Amino acid sequence: MTTLTEAPPSDADGLLPSKKKSSGGGLGTYILVRFFLILPTMFILVTMVFFLMRVIGDPITAAQGGRLPPDVLAQRIHDAGYDRPILVQYFEYLGQVATGNFGTTITDRRPVVAMLATFGTATLELAINAVIVALLVGIPLGMIAAHRRDKAPDAVLRFFAILCYATPVFFAGLLLKLTFSVWLGWLPVAGRASTRTELAMGSLAAPTGVYWLDALRSGNMTALGDVMAHAVLPAVALGLLTAGVFLRLVRTNLIGTLGKDYVEAGRSRGVSEFRLVTKHAYKPALIPIITVMGLQIALLLGGAVLTETTFEWKGLGYQLVQYLNARDFVAVQGIVVLLAVIVAVTNFVVDVFAALIDPRVRY
């Protein structure tokens, strides 16, 4: 990466203190350059997905070949423009994507954007719940492991972290289902809500699509309880996968800061061990923690596909598998591109965030 710390012209008249001059300009430029770095990533992924999907053939034959008479099929392909040269189609698709038009799904004839909005909120809800679980489990346990480094608690917790990684989400989901739904009967087996709640949610005016938010806004407490009960197991299954990563992350970085002189100084002044770990050592360790946590979005989304299928959680991942099985590649393309956008944008936000917290982060 090249250095981008030249002061912008506005700073030249010396209105700002000299120290702020370079860092202020650097930050603005950094964010701008970092933003434009999203574009090649996006471009490559869109290109890759487009050509991979076309290798199989045109979307209409893939979805409906064999079910329609050949002449009807040929007519459909012609109408949709899939008989033109692939490069023409590619540039047309790029133009459409740039203006936010992802086409219409082949199997259920919905605009892809509307489909993404409907199922995206469900995935968003699952992801939020899972991150909450991961933070609640990962951060405190990571602190304990770092504080008791190389002692029994650390050994147990490190093993737990590796176990979280080694357990596929669908197997964790299966075990959770067996235990809490089938044997104990405490929680529902699958779905986002019971049928009655689904109907209540559907009849709301201007729903957000995030069920617990909708239930809260409409003041429907039975629905809220129902939604919560459905949310627990998927959130735990997906959350534990990420919790293992968070635990190791917090542990590794805390061990780094706990060895610093100022922590020792704090200890000699009589600051409690609890405060030393949770405040003094934890705060400086936050930057690498946040950065790497942000990078886990790809892991989280991959896990979401499996979790949604396990719990029949009707989000993007569940729908992706349905569309793949129906060979509806227009819809698949839309979902994959959207997920790529989410990953790229999250990485951008994380980088900017890290730059805002730590003035040393400049490239």
- Helix/strand/coil (H/E/C) assignment for every residue in 15-51: CCCHHHHHHHHHHHHHHHHHHHHHHHHHHHHHHHHHH
The answer to the question of residue 44 lying near other proteins (CB under 8 A) is: yes
What would you report as the CA-atom Rg of the chain, rounded to the nearest whole angstrom? Answer: 25
Which residue lies nearer to other proteins by CB, 137 or 200? Answer: 137
Q: Tokens representing 196?
A: 């009655």
The answer to the question of residue 252 lying near other proteins (CB under 8 A) is: yes
The answer to the question of residue 105 lying near other proteins (CB under 8 A) is: no
Among 149, 267, 314, 362, binds other proteins (CB under 8 A): 149
Least CB distance from residue 177 to other proteins, whole Å? Answer: 5
The answer to the question of residue 292 lying near other proteins (CB under 8 A) is: yes
Least CB distance from residue 225 to other proteins, whole Å? Answer: 22
Place of tokens 């490239």: 363
Question: What type of residue is 187?
Answer: L
Least CB distance from residue 341 to other proteins, whole Å? Answer: 11
Query: Taking every pair of C-alpha atoms in the chain, what is the biggest distance, in angstroms?
Result: 86
Distance from C-alpha of 31 to C-alpha of 294, rounded to nearest angstrom: 17
Distance from C-alpha of 210 to C-alpha of 124, rounded to nearest angstrom: 8
How many other CB atoms are there within 10 angstroms of residue 300's CB atom?
24
Among 77, 276, 306, 350, binds other proteins (CB under 8 A): 306
Least CB distance from residue 167 to other proteins, whole Å? Answer: 5
Distance from C-alpha of 333 to C-alpha of 101, rounded to nearest angstrom: 12
Among 310, 331, 351, 355, binds other proteins (CB under 8 A): 310
The answer to the question of residue 261 lying near other proteins (CB under 8 A) is: yes
- Around 95, how many Cα atoms within 13 Å sit in the side-chain half-sphere? 6
Distance from C-alpha of 137 to C-alpha of 261, rounded to nearest angstrom: 29
Count of residues interacting with other proteins (CB under 8 A): 68
The answer to the question of residue 280 lying near other proteins (CB under 8 A) is: no
Q: Which residues bind other proteins (CB under 8 A)?
A: 40-41, 44-45, 48-49, 52-53, 55-56, 149-150, 155, 158-159, 162-163, 165-168, 170-171, 174-175, 177-178, 181-183, 189-190, 245, 248-249, 252-253, 255-261, 288, 292, 295-296, 298-299, 301-303, 305-306, 309-310, 320-321, 324-325, 332, 336, 339-340, 343-344, 347
